[in-house]
């Protein structure tokens, strides 16, 4: 009889620790999803078709062959910046490099004038 009570207690402890482990894993997954939403992917990194996941305001997510080969962040042009400025609200993506989409280090000096 004592053996049966011992096994029942052992079973109850194992069941409760398994439920606690499942509960904490759900919390960790939620925190991971939030972190993934905030972080951005560097140039050449894998993305999911979302331009807002790529760091730098001139990079976009390119998916050759409709995404069969996977998607990656590639360098674009100033029009990519304009499109991302309208759709992406993450400051980590849009604040690098500083300045507007069409800014240039050179002035508007024309040659011959």
Range of the domain at 82: 39-98
Instruction: Say if 77 falls within a structural domain.
Output: yes
Largest Cα separation within the chain, whole Å, is 104
Instruction: Say if 60 falls within a structural domain.
Output: yes
Split into its structural domains, the chain has a count of: 1
Instruction: Say if 70 falls within a structural domain.
Output: yes
Q: What is the pLDDT of residues 73-91, one digit of tens each?
A: 999 888 888 888 888 877 7
Q: What is the pLDDT of residues 15-74, one digit of tens each?
A: 666 666 555 555 555 544 545 555 788 888 898 888 888 888 889 999 988 778 889 999
Instruction: Say if 52 falls within a structural domain.
Output: yes
Q: Which residue, among 70, 26, 19, has the nearest Cα to 49 in the 3D structure?
A: 70
1-25 core/surface letters (b: 16 or more CB in 10 A; e: else): eeeeeeeeeeeeeeeeeeeeeeeee
Instruction: Say if 76 falls within a structural domain.
Output: yes
Distance CA(93)–CA(72), nearest Å, equals 15
- Model's pTM, two decimal places? 0.53
């Amino acid at each position: 009889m004592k053996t049966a009570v011992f096994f029942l207690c052992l079973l109850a402890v194992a069941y409760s620790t398994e439920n606690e482990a499942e509960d904490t894993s759900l919390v960790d997954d939620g925190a991971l999803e939030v972190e993934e939403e905030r972080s951005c992917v560097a140039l050449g990194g894998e993305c999911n078709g979302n331009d807002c996941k790529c760091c730098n305001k001139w990079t976009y997510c390119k998916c050759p062959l409709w995404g069969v080969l996977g998607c990656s962040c590639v360098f674009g042009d100033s029009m990519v910046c304009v499109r991302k400025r309208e759709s992406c609200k993450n400051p980590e993506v849009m604040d690098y490099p500083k300045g507007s989409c069409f800014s240039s280090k050179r002035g508007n000096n024309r040659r011959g004038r």
